[in-house]
Homo-oligomer: A and B are copies of this chain.
């Protein structure tokens, strides 16, 4: 097989996060399902921002956070996603390149602004998200460069790509190229409401072999198989997926594949300040380890470490260099 240029290439919605703290009453008053991601239009975005407290802005986007994490572990990483050539889009581009990620998707010159996600962090550290997709809606198959995908050990895709109109075509195109080149295709289910919207298609992707490696959290997995019983959902995953990685918040993570089940505990944190990015960064650690050929349990430990770093501060991307953090904790990267 040809040598790779990238360990992981991610395709996702390119989003700038607008983060503010709030209390639970605010979520209730604004009918925001706690812990979820809701899609909003421009008018709703304006109203939500008006009601929001003082906010900080930081680059986000689920797959983009994961890819930033891979780069922070020292992995060779690339990202495909659509911003506009505006203030937010330039900030997104700066941040992802500054962490060492190759990001060359041409920005939109007109049309809607760069995507924003309005994130409310409650005192328990949980985050509740409202996404205005903006320019991210215009990601198209033309933005997927064949050679980049063929040169990537893993192509990683977010389930949220089912929301913008043409992005799933970009996803299917990428998966086909990746498999054509003998590479691995990974998917995250993203959010349980997202699974609700596209359940049948997601199951087909996993069962049909379009996806080799599936990431889900407990809620998403139960939503996928429409059961309240975690063990039943995990059994179904074992049956359907080549390799599945399920995160369970404070209960750690489970890796299922090839008839084996491995559990890995969480890394202890002093306090969950902001859960934003926890799943994204878990995926970063696992993907980095997987690309390096580490055993699944070692990869999952890197995931747990990266998740612990990101939930101990505001914002969805690591503030510490994850390769250093791994070494400090005696983990191989």
A residues in contact (CB < 8 Å) with B: 21, 49-50, 52-59, 68, 86-88, 91, 94-96, 98-99, 313-315, 317, 319
Smallest CB separation, A128 vs chain B (Å): 17
Main secondary structure, interface of A, reads mixed
B residues less than 8 Å from A95 (CB atoms): 54-55
Asked whether A49 and B87 contact (CB < 8 A) given A54-B99, A54-B317, A317-B54, the answer is no
Docked CA distance A88–B59 (Å): 15
Asked whether A49 and B314 contact (CB < 8 A) given A21-B319, A54-B59, A319-B21, the answer is no
B residues less than 8 Å from A88 (CB atoms): 87
A49 touches B86 (CB 8 A): no
Q: Choose one: B21, B87, B315; the contact of A56 (CB below 8 Å).
A: B315
Smallest CB separation, A16 vs chain B (Å): 9
Asked whether A52 and B98 contact (CB < 8 A) given A57-B57, A57-B58, A319-B21, the answer is yes
Closest to A17 in B: B56
Closest to A21 in B: B319
Docked CA distance A215–B125 (Å): 36
